[in-house]
Amino acid sequence: MNNLILPEAVQPGRHYSFRADMKLNAWAFVALLVAFTARWVLQHHPDWSGLPRSAVALSPLLPSLLYVRSIKRWIGGMDELQGRIQLGACLFSTTGTVFITTALSLLESGGLLRTSRLQHGLGWEGTFAVIIALYVLANILVNRRYR
């Protein structure tokens, strides 16, 4: 068999490969770990000045960028149809997330979310969850088209 990267290698099922999963998603786990640690540090050190607080608050961005690089390499190792499907799914999930967060922001500015849990937006956890949900949805829909 050729050495193509297949999306099934990181999805639950008989083709799942822990190694492939780690190669793709390790930086996502690191980003989550750093984000939780940063939150804990900021809660326990309210006395810190602006610069170190900003550095800690922004620290999850570096592993997040490295995760984007992993995704780019992962898609680059696929054949042209799989690459197109995954790029389409990534585009759908990111534009969908931008649309949802913008809609929430507009509703908030219109005073419509005051009593809701979403009055301060989705937060990074919510944004991450929406991206994943839309990505999975897009994958199912686009894969069905080419099956």
- Which residues make up the interface to other proteins (CB under 8 A)? 1-2, 4, 6, 78-82, 145-147
Please, what is the minimum distance in Å from the beta carbon of residue 142 to other proteins?
11
Please, what is the minimum distance in Å from the beta carbon of residue 147 to other proteins?
7
DSSP state for residue 78 in the 8-state scheme: S
Q: Report the sign of the C-alpha dihedral through residues 126, 129, 135, 137, in that order.
A: negative
Please, what is the minimum distance in Å from the beta carbon of residue 104 to other proteins?
36
Give the separation between CA 81 and CA 69, rounded to whole angstroms: 20
Please, what is the minimum distance in Å from the beta carbon of residue 80 to other proteins?
5
Which lies closer to other proteins via its Cβ, residue 4 or residue 118? 4
Which lies closer to other proteins via its Cβ, residue 51 or residue 81? 81
Integer angstrom CA distances of residue 70 from 22, 51, 76, 106, 144: 10, 29, 10, 33, 25
Query: Which of 43-62 are b and which e, b meaning 16 or more Cβ less than 10 Å from the residue's Cβ?
Result: eeeeeeeeeebeebeebbee
Which lies closer to other proteins via its Cβ, residue 91 or residue 133? 91
Which lies closer to other proteins via its Cβ, residue 47 or residue 80? 80
